[in-house]
Amino acid sequence: MLGEVWQHGQSTCFPQISEELDPQRGKQAVKEGLCTSHVIPIRSGDRVSYLLEFLSHGMAAPDGDMQAMLESLCAQVAQFIDRCRDELRVRQFMTEFDCLFKLSPDGFVVFNT
């Protein structure tokens, strides 16, 4: 079920969750009375990085406005994740640079091109 969305990269509504479609989580979903799933991919560039899944006791497929809002939400989540990842890379680079700078007995010259 989720693999299908992951592979095709398109949001999908599954009107009937069953144990056969998703053996790992289907049993628990059925036990809790959840029968409908709407899965939306979160992209990082051209590839799907994460999935956002909504489960319900019974919901219709989202209309155009709801779908656009959910896709906008996923785009914002992707931007946030990418920004956090970039900030981590910068912090790691600065830590390494700081260590090299402090350990170096010689001087540094940095050219900004």
Q: Say how far residue 111 (Cα) sits from the centre of its chain.
A: 37
Q: Average pLDDT of 22-40?
A: 79
pLDDT in tens, 33-85: 888 888 889 888 788 888 888 888 876 667 788 888 888 888 899 999 989 99
Q: Which CATH number describes the domain made up of 2-103?
A: 3.30.450.40
Structure tokens at 29: 């979903």
Judged by DSSP in three states, 62 sits in coil
pTM of structure: 0.65
**Continuous segment of H or E residues that includes residue 12:** strand 12-14
Domain boundaries, the chain: 2-103
